[in-house]
Structure 1
């Protein structure tokens, strides 16, 4: 059933993109020459819609790949999403033919609805794919936070576009590109998490901010790694990340041990429990590094043969 749903959705999205490009109006002047200004504006607006639809296809396709079966509720949400998405060609044509505050508002409201429904679908599919309650709750919290930011920004953009039409068009162009890059980063991080067992995954999400230092460094590093040729087949790509992770754990253990004598009995007991937890976490990480090293050596040996 899942395969039929995905194929159906892919067909609808392909038709939508085809309709958008077929409806590109090409205006000619009185002398028969093509109006290049209107043509470039039309192609630019088409590119905005293309990026928006393509980004939706990427996000939903990746989310569906994580599950084995489509629930009835998710199917209804997906069909509702495709319905609103099918209105994008008409809204795009209106925006191309007459780029005004009203047509921009129609386009903005429609893309806002599509974005909201899509994000809710992704949250539902992600929850179905995760079996660990702690990971599911953490992922839900992160996705909901991203959704609040995305929807709030689009609402503000609707107001902004009512006063500044052309700058709002530029922002509508940038949004799907940024969203596409964010999807690449999320996928790259998922590839890392998939190599860890459940305990290590819980450790990773708990220590992620400390491991990467800040969100900007995590985003830039993951994006850069994802662009490397053959990155998906290189199990050695996370060895440096794991080494830094292990170094952070060692530092935290040493810091806690140094301050043990300054604590009272109750706080000392809690600190000792935290140290024991960190040491177990370190052991699991060392085991994962050893497994990665063995897999790398086996693959290198197989390539030589």
Structure 2
């Protein structure tokens, strides 16, 4: 299945590249020297950038997700194809919203965004799940690391969708910010999950019991240690020793350990 996984990687990259290319080709080129046509072209370029940022963010997260996967099972293939099928609808929905930005078209575009993001979350969990033998632990870690960000982005998407019913043209602009927010909030999630999955059992449990504010602080400290040892491998003993020391010295985790023992 390793060769099939490599071919799937190439296929997915090709599909995403074609999606972006089609969106560019669908831009309405001004045919006359008229201000109205230039305005329509400018609007189309703006909407293209919204869709481009969305697809580019998906590609980045997709690449990070599959980078460490050695093989793929049938379950992942099915989820991947369904995900790509809905992502492939992006050019036509972009074209529709370009030519007629109204309540219906903006709502349809927003619903497609939610569906694609939801399918990608399910795909992400399937890929991560097959990499680890302790299924119960990885499920809990996945929800702990990804949960807050996915919930925030999900609620934000639904809120924007509701507002799009009343202010469709204004919400088109807001959709430009969503991929940027998604990239900023989730770009470290996969590496954080890998680090936590490699911790000893006791420290995993401590991580899973950490509250939201302390968890954010802990993850920032983790990333500082990771940057320090960048390029030396994820299993570097010095890095793992510093991560262990971090958990042992963190105030909230220290208190939990004290209560437990």
SS at match of 1:131: coil
CA RMSD, Structure 1 to Structure 2 (Å): 3.5
SS at match of 2:60: helix
Rate the CA distance shift 1:254–1:48 in 2: closer, same or farther, 3 A: closer
1:204 positional shift = 5.6
Q: Distance between the aligned counterparts of 1:156 and 1:80, measured in 2?
A: 25
Q: Which residue of 1 aligns with 2:118?
A: 116
Contact 1:185 1:219 in 2 (8 A): no
SS at match of 1:162: helix
Rate the CA distance shift 1:250–1:220 in 2: closer, same or farther, 3 A: closer
Q: Give the TM-score normalised by structure 2.
A: 0.79
Matches for 1:166-185 after TM superposition, within 5 Å = 166-185=169-188
Q: Which residue of 2 aligns with 1:97?
A: 99
Q: Distance between the aligned counterparts of 2:105 and 2:256, measured in 1?
A: 61
Q: Distance between the aligned counterparts of 1:201 and 1:94, measured in 2?
A: 51
Q: Which residue of 2 aligns with 1:139?
A: 141
- 1:47 and 2:49 equivalent? yes
Q: Which residue of 2 aligns with 1:61?
A: 63
What's the CA shift string for 1:248-290, capped at 9, x where partnerless? 369946995xxxxxxxxxxxxxx5xx23xxxxxxxxxxxxxxx
Rate the CA distance shift 1:239–1:167 in 2: closer, same or farther, 3 A: farther
Q: Which residue of 2 aligns with 1:285?
A: none
1:41 positional shift = 2.0
Q: Distance between the aligned counterparts of 1:157 and 1:51, measured in 2?
A: 17
Contact 1:66 1:126 in 2 (8 A): no
1:208 positional shift = 4.7
1:160 positional shift = 1.0
Larger radius of gyration: 1
- 1:232 and 2:230 equivalent? yes
Unaligned runs of 5+ in 2: none
Q: Distance between the aligned counterparts of 1:25 and 1:220, measured in 2?
A: 45
1:37 positional shift = 3.2
1:133 positional shift = 3.6
Rate the CA distance shift 1:172–1:247 in 2: closer, same or farther, 3 A: same
The range that moved more, 171-180 or 247-256, is: 247-256
Matched pairs, number: 253
Contact 2:153 2:182 in 1 (8 A): no
What's the CA shift string for 1:149-185, capped at 9, x where partnerless? 4334323322210111233112211111111122322
Q: Distance between the aligned counterparts of 2:134 and 2:45, measured in 1?
A: 46
Unaligned runs of 5+ in 1: 257-270, 276-305
Contact 2:140 2:208 in 1 (8 A): no
Q: Give the TM-score normalised by structure 1.
A: 0.69
SS at match of 1:51: helix
Q: Which has the higher contact order (CA 8 A, sep 6+)?
A: 2
Q: Distance between the aligned counterparts of 2:253 and 2:89, measured in 1?
A: 55
